[in-house]
Structure 1
Amino acid sequence: MKKTKRFMQLGLGILLMVSLLFFANGFGYADDHSLTVKKGDTLYSISKKYNLTVQELKEFNGLKNNTIYIGQKLLLPGVTESEPMYAVVGGSFTKKDNATKQIANLKKKGIEATFVTKVINEKTYYRIQAGVFSKKGNAEKQKELLRKNGIKDAYIVTSKNLHVNGVHVGSTYSQLLQQFGKPVKTEDQLNIRSLYYNGEGAGVRVNFNMENGSVFGLQVYPEYLQLSSLPKDKSQIIDVYGYPNQVKTVSCYESASCGQFIYQFNKNNLIIQFDRDGKTVQYYDLSKFH
């Protein structure tokens, strides 16, 4: 039976690559996608080190030739997304108000924090989060700061940025093709490219910056793909991504109800929608928070 796929239009924009962002107390998000050129570096040596092409580096940085200089800062499309990041969390409350009170107390002491939710066996838990860091040393300092200010069970969660089949927000279009393969045809509409792999429906729809190839939105439909590496049912999803931050029930095709797992990490958002049977993955939708 032919299914009507729900496609979420993602807003226009270009993913801004910035270094690690801190507030006054060290709270922030790991978003470090750059390096500083040192003596002996060339575009070729950098491209090999980070599994990129010279052309990708040039296009992403607006370089007209291969000349770079010591001290120059180069943006690296998506490469650090696969590196571990460190979230500092503490507490586990069944009531949102309790988490909110703890956060208010921390803010009075000059410590920025927020709460994140986790749904485990259909029950929602609220946890305090005080930043996501690309350097473990910074996360350790933040953990100790929380412990000194009353969050005795503060700990570090090591994770990687959200992805679909190895493609993250910030990956390049060429990296996407490496992961999903070359399509039999493509169709462009505004800033969206649809990739067809079997001649029926689009298996991938990608929002990317046409100038530098940086991906800032991705929708994937497993029904139209033959990828053993792509989880296709709920049990596999939990094995790969863990328990979701939110669970929702939404209206889908033919007035049916479909479930969603929603994952949020480091300012990225991943929605995984299941079919009417509650098990089969209908689509993935990966984007940056707006």
Structure 2
Amino acid sequence: MTQQLITLSNRISYLTPVGPTDRPILMSVTGDRHTLMIDSGNSKAHAELFLKTLKDTGKPLPDLTAVTHWHWDHIFGLAALSVPSIASEDTKKAMEELTDFKWDDESLDERVATGVEIQFCADAIREEFKEQRDIEVVLPSVTFEDELTVDLGGVTCVLKQVGSDHAKDSTVVYVKEEKLLFLGDVTAPLMYAPVWHFTAEETLKLLDQLDQFDADTYVISHYKPISKAEYQQEAALLRKAASLVTDYQGDLEQMKAELSSHYDRPLSEDEIEILVYFANGVA
């Protein structure tokens, strides 16, 4: 799949994601003094492609990088970057656990078998790197706890650790003057588990935190930027599903019937999938 550089405004550009290799969106935010790259990519090749597309289109190259959470597809690109990198202290601690890992097929299979790795990520790593696994985990050079504000000059980025089922260290990036909230993967389920799942408690806590940001655009790492109305629709579904899983104690058929009645129509595949994730999260 050919990746494209999309310009959202005179300050913000992003590289589109790729499914099979699990490449997330990479974004640049340019101020009068600095340019921040959000997430580093899932490989050196991914990061280098982003830098090349920025250069080829005459856009400023980043002199800072921030990563949203510890998962491989957001951090492996740091090895290709020579600029200061920023992450939460929790993200750095999680990344430290990866530094001694080997990435050959045998090592991946062993970690999948023991539950340290998941098959989905092992397959994507094989697809991204093929036989050349020149993987180096480079730790962030700047860390913060809870929140950090970065003044790029005329544009301000607030890095806020919000946590989520997907990753406890999850950080969102709020570009204040552009009213853009980079969500990363916070609205995705917990994947490093026997079954992918959401929990009502973590979901509601997350959504309450996201409501504090005055955003018109929301960026989902493995999807695309969405409007405020689209985000609110998604958030309402997650809140409703969190309520239903509590009311019906994870009974999926009752949850589906109630949500269908609530919408007065048959459920979409995406809506059913979300209910399944919540039902999976019931202990």
- Give the TM-score normalised by structure 1: 0.28
Larger radius of gyration: 1
Q: Which has the higher strand share?
A: 1
Larger relative CO (CA 8 A, sep 6+): 1 or 2?
Answer: 1
